[in-house]
Structures are given as structure tokens and as C-alpha cells.
Amino acid sequence: MTQEELFKKLIAHCKEYGFIFPSSEIYDGLGAVYDYGQNGVELKNNIKRYWWDSMVKLHENIVGIDAAIFMHPKTWEASGHVAAFNDPLIDNKDSKKRYRADVLIEEWMAKQDEKIQKEVEKARKRFGEAFDEQQYLATSPRVADIVAKRDGVHKRFVEALDKNDLVELRQIILDCEIVCPISGTRNWTDVRQFNLMFSTQMGSTADGASTIYLRPETAQGIFVNFLNVQKTGRMKLPFGIAQIGKAFRNEIVARQFIFRMREFEQMEMQFFVQPGTEMQWWNEWKNTRMAWHRALGFGDEKYRFHDHDKLAHYANAATDIEFNFPFGFKEVEGIHSRTDFDLGRHQEYSGKKIQYFDPERGENYVPYVVETSIGVDRMFLQIMSAAYCEEKLEGGDERVVLRIPACLAPTKVAVMPLVKKDGLPELARQIIDDLKFDYNVSYDEKDSIGKRYRRQDAVGTPFCVTVDHQSLEDGTVTIRHRDSMQQERVAIADLRRMVDEAVSFRPLYKKIKE
Ligand code: ATP
């Protein structure tokens, strides 16, 4: 199965099993807007809990807030979003499709890297044991050609972004002979800038309504509350403020399912530090956040850091954590050192002093900020991509199983009476009544046990508990494990402890803290 086929299947699976539906589907959907279904919302809530607790519960010096989506319009002037929250866009005149110019060029560069890798693999086969990759890279004329071309384009690209030179961006696209994937032609328009913020009106027009924006990031709600939290919480630097909430961006190219949406959710933490210590904290948070991802156990090789070529107007260091999605390595999280830009600008635009009195240094200053910013939806896609698995079973059967880490699984236990009579459903209900105070538990009595197992595998339920006639006699049930499909006989009285251990977030938190 190609990665493309896998991705298509994943999208279909998300819909068929109540994880994600296109928004307002009965009206044929709305571009790049999605709804989470009955299983999706549970997984999403568990992701948020994993993040929230790893920030707020595990760190004495991090607290949370929940700011409004609407903010005073001046916020976005201060933050720079009104002037500079732009993407360079380009249209293909034949297909009428719109692309981000920077993304087209980045994809071209990634292709050159793939070419180099292919040459290396070919040479490795040719030379066998004696192959020395470094020597090959340094001496092969073919590789040297590709590297020179790639590096040349990279240099021009970074300069063009820095100078906001849209003509040069277009020229790079032409020089690299980049074609539209739909029409296959190089018939491109000029590159233009496009502001990504959605706007709306607040108040009735008669009263002189004002234009306000739907926030394009949650971070600003944290910055404007810096003093409120610092004073009321008597917080001392370094400390962090965490927030989970919706953000909105009128994305030009909304593709790849929930990877790039127009309405999405962010989990952001702004960590306020003494100026001069920001690089140390930036490194620290890079490592902590990578550990948080890796603790899920999908394999360390699925993640990498990608340092930014062009720093945003507010940053002095920035990296992304990228995950290997079915469509390649792409950003799931950004870790940015934002300097004193945001607080400084809000101080300037509001005319209010936003400073911290440092008792150690005996002075007032505007703190520096290190931010960790991750999309809930991209995290959701990461988990689904890594968890989706098609397996051939003994006897020619097949199953689709979602190997979602048990702590994140939407339903933890499905309880099933072997038959719908003889008091088995009643006992199954009793078990559910005991477990449901602690976990999401489901009941299923329809179809054969085999079919019921398949249904639970497909939504990632870690445990199926079967109640049979023996259960009535000796108070034991069969528990079946999703991943191994192993079954064991256990006492009903032991179920809670077993499930408790398996679905706990504790081992993950311990790994992060190591
Ligand atoms: P990209 O380069 O992919 O547009 P970005 O660098 O603009 O992303 P940030 O502004 O750093 O993204 O936002 C932080 C996080 O928010 C991203 O790492 C991503 O997980 C999430 N995010 C941003 N835009 C979207 C979107 N349109 N849909 C879903 N998640 C998003």
C-alpha cells in the first residue's frame, strides 16, 4: 500500500468510525473545516488532557488560562498580525489552483534532498561493504551538481523571504521549472500577499460597529493577561502560562485533511524568562517537547527538528518538531524564542507598563518569552497516522486496528455478554456500572464475538471483556488485549486495577521527566 493510499484509507476510516466528519456535510461541506464525531471528541479531549497535565500539573511554575477568542482590535496591530500576517500566494492560470509560493519552493528543495538520497542508495548497492557514504557525498560529481543547485536556490529563497521580494520568489519558481501538480504547466501569475486573519463586526452597524478579528493564534490572550496572572498568582520568573483554544486562519491552500484547517485548535504555553537566559530555556523546552511526543511510543525515528530558515518578525530562534505523516515530514509543533517583542509591543500600544520587578536583580524589565505551540488537530492526525494498522490474521482473516496508546483511547473497555440471555447482559451491566465512574466504557451484545472484537479494534479500544456462563459461577471474565489479541481469565474484582494500570498517563509523564 502506498502512503497515498494509506492516507485515503485513514480519512475514510475517520469518517466511518465517528472520528471526523466534513463540516455541514449535508450541504456538501465547507472548505477545510471539520467536525469531530463521537470517538473523535474523546480522543481529542484525551490529547488535550495529556498536554494540559504535562504542563500545568507537572510544573509548579506553569498555570493555565482560558482567554476569549475576540480581543480588542489593537491587540493585532500590536502583535504585528495586521501588517505582517501574510502568506505569498501564486496561482496557476491553467488549473486555476492557488498555492503558497514558499511551500512550492520548499517542496522542490525537499525533492532535491530525496534525489541525493537515491544516489547514495544506488551507490551503496554498487559498492557493497566497501561503501563510504561521506566520501561518496564529497566526491560524486552527480551529487555535487544537485547539491550546488539546491544550495543556490536555498540561498536565494532565504534572501527573498527576508526582503519580502515577491518578484524573486516567482523567478525562483520559474528557474526551478516548478510545474502545477494539477495542470502540469508553468503558467504562473505574479506572487501576491494575502492576510490570513478572518474579520467580523462587533456591535450593530447603526451604533458604529467596529471590525474585530477571530484570533489567528491563542498566544496573544496570554500576553495581554501577563500582569493579571503574574500579580494574582504571585508568580516569579521563570514561569509559564498555558492555554488551549480555537484559532482561525483563512488559509490559502487548505489541503491534507485536518493538517491545515481554517478553524483549528492550539495548545500554547508562553514561558517568561529573564532576558539573556532565553537560549537556555529554548533548548530546554525543545528537549522537553520532543520527549512528550516520543513518550507516546510511535518510534523516535518518526520525529525530527527543523530549524527555521526565516525567523518570524518576533523571534530570535525557532524550530519545529516535525512528524513523518503519510505525506512526509511536516510540522506539528513550533518552539520559538519570541524575545520581549510581544510584551514590549503591548506596552507600547496600550500605554500601560508591562514589566516585572526582579527581586534578584533589583530592577524592572520586560521579560523574554519562549513559546511552545502545537495544533491539537495535527496531533490528532499524528496519532491516527501512527496508530492505523491493517493486519492479516491466521486463517486468512484481516483486521484494521487503531493502536492508539491506551491512555488516549476514546473508549477504554468494551463489555460484552457472550449471549443475550441467562443473566449475562445483567452481569455485563453490573461491571459497566462499576467501571464507568472512572473510564469510558461501552456495551455491545450484537453479532458474533469475533465481529464485536473487530468493531472495537477499529476504534482502538484497548480491552474487551467477555461475560460468559462461567462468570456467573466463579466471578471471572475473559479480558482480550487489543494489540496482542491475547485473552486471559481474570476475576471481575481485579478488572479495575488492571485497566487502571494500563490506561494511566503516569509512565508517559515519567518518561518526559527523565
Ligand atoms: P505552517 O507553516 O504549517 O502554516 P505555522 O508555522 O504557521 O504552520 P504556527 O503559527 O507556528 O504554525 O502555529 C503553531 C501550531 O499550530 C503549528 O505547529 C500547527 O500544529 C498548528 N497550526 C497552525 N496552522 C494550522 C492550521 N491551519 N490547521 C491546523 N493546525 C495549524
What is the tens place of the pLDDT at every residue in 427-464? Answer: 999 999 999 999 999 999 999 999 999 999 999 999 99
Q: What is the residue-averaged pLDDT of the chain?
A: 94
Neighbours of 290 (CB within 10 A): 19
| pLDDT tier for residue 16 given thresholds of 50, 70 and 90 | very high
For residue 115, is pLDDT > 90? yes
Alpha-carbon span 414 to 463, nearest angstrom: 6
pLDDT computed for residue 209 by the predictor? 64
319 backbone dihedrals φ, ψ, rounded to 5°: -140, 155
pLDDT digits (tens, 9 = 90+) for 191-200: 998 888 999 9
In the block, cell 491534507 appears at 256
Q: Per-residue pLDDT averaged across 180-192, rounded? A: 94
pLDDT digits (tens, 9 = 90+) for 400-431: 999 999 999 999 999 999 999 999 999 999 99
Residues 6 or more apart whose CB falls under 8 angstroms from that of 73 comprise 210, 211, 212, 213
Residues 6 or more apart whose CB falls under 8 angstroms from that of 136 comprise 120, 123, 127, 143
Give percent of the chain above pLDDT 70. 98
pLDDT digits (tens, 9 = 90+) for 251-293: 877 678 999 999 999 999 999 999 999 999 999 999 999 999 9
Query: Considering only CA atoms, which residue is closest to atom 25 of ligand 1?
Result: 260
Ligand 1 near 331 CB (within 6 A): yes
Give percent of the chain above pLDDT 90. 82
Q: Kindly give the number of the ligand 1 atom that is closest to the alpha carbon of 333.
A: 18
Query: Considering only CA atoms, which residue is closest to atom 23 of ligand 1?
Result: 375
Which amino acid, residue 246?
K
In the block, cell 500605554 appears at 351
Ligand 1 centroid – CA 62 distance (Å): 23
Alpha-carbon span 432 to 257, nearest angstrom: 36
Q: Per-residue pLDDT averaged across 337-350, rounded? A: 96
Query: Considering only CA atoms, which residue is closest to atom 31 of ligand 1?
Result: 375
Ligand 1 near 165 CB (within 6 A): no
Query: Considering only CA atoms, which residue is closest to atom 12 of ligand 1?
Result: 334
pTM, 2 dp = 0.86
Q: Per-residue pLDDT averaged across 82-105, rounded? A: 88
Ligand 1 near 334 CB (within 6 A): yes
Ligand 1 centroid – CA 332 distance (Å): 7
Ligand 1 centroid – CA 304 distance (Å): 16
Edge-first strand order for the sheet with 368-375 is 62-65, 239-248, 263-273, 368-375, 328-339, 317-325, 303-307
pLDDT digits (tens, 9 = 90+) for 477-488: 999 999 999 999
Domains (range + CATH), the chain: 1-83+196-392 (3.30.930.10), 86-191 (3.30.40.230), 402-513 (3.40.50.800)
Alpha-carbon span 64 to 241, nearest angstrom: 5
Q: 32-41, 57-66, 134-143, 176-185: which has the minimum mean pLDDT?
A: 134-143
Mutate to test the pocket of ligand 1, among 194, 265, 306, 331 (most ligand atoms within 8 A of CB): 331
Neighbours of 310 (CB within 10 A): 15
**C-alpha of 36 from chain center:** 15
pLDDT computed for residue 208 by the predictor? 60
pLDDT computed for residue 311 by the predictor? 76
pLDDT computed for residue 177 by the predictor? 96
Q: 116-120, 209-213, 323-327, 407-411: which has the minimum mean pLDDT?
A: 209-213
Alpha-carbon span 314 to 320, nearest angstrom: 16
Ligand 1 centroid – CA 251 distance (Å): 10
